[in-house]
Structures are given as C-alpha cells and as structure tokens.
Amino acid sequence: MDIAPYPLHDRLAMDLDEVIKALGHPVRREILQWLKEPEKHFADQAHPLEVGVCAGMFARCGLSQSTVSTHLAVLQRAGLVSTRRIGQWVFYKRNDDTIAAFLRQIGQEL
C-alpha cells in the first residue's frame, strides 16, 4: 500500500510555504510584476511574447545571469512561473492559476 509521506493538508501547507518563500525576495516579486505585463516591460524581445519571456531578458534587474537563473528556478519550483524550451532558449510566463489559488488559500487561512 502506497502512503503519501504527508497528509493532504500538510502537502498543501508545504506548497503554500514554498510560494511564501518565493515571494519573500523583492527581485522575485519584481519579476512576477514584469511578467504580468510583458508587452510593457519586454517589448524589445525578438521572440513573440506569447511563448513567454526569454530568460536572458531578465538581465534588466542588474544581477548576474546565475543569480537571475536562481531566482527564476525558485519561482518555477513554487509554481509561480511556467517554462517552455524552444531550441536553446527558455521562456517564462506567469502562472496566474497558481497565483489565484495562493491568494484564495491565504485568504482562507488568515
């Protein structure tokens, strides 16, 4: 018999904690704000914004590429962004479903 390592409510709480941790850094919140209106912040991207924003475009935050990649990975693990690989490029989009679920859950719990 397979038993999940944590009861369902604990797994949901862990997801909530992951999102809260991801939102705890101002750069990650700024990235999510940019992704809310990519046409406003990334109009100069060569690829269509419908596929997402290319990882290299986030250099605008003034951090090294490896630091930006770490921030994007944290957002991805928390489910706040989704990725799509096209050739050598990785594109990022906001996951508005996860953001809405987070807001509902936090509203119920607090």
Residue 75 is predicted with a pLDDT of: 96
Evaluate whether 32 touches 80 at the Cβ level (below 8 Å). Answer: yes
Strand order in the sheet with 89-94: 53-54, 89-94, 81-86
CA-based nearest residue to 75, from 94, 56, 90, 57: 94
pLDDT per residue rounded down to tens, the chain (110 residues): 344 443 444 444 448 889 999 999 999 999 999 999 999 999 899 888 999 999 999 988 788 889 999 999 999 999 999 999 999 999 999 999 999 989 988 888 88
Residue 62 is predicted with a pLDDT of: 86
Tokens of 88: 């050598």
Residue 2 is predicted with a pLDDT of: 41
Report d(CA 71, CA 87) in Å as an integer: 22
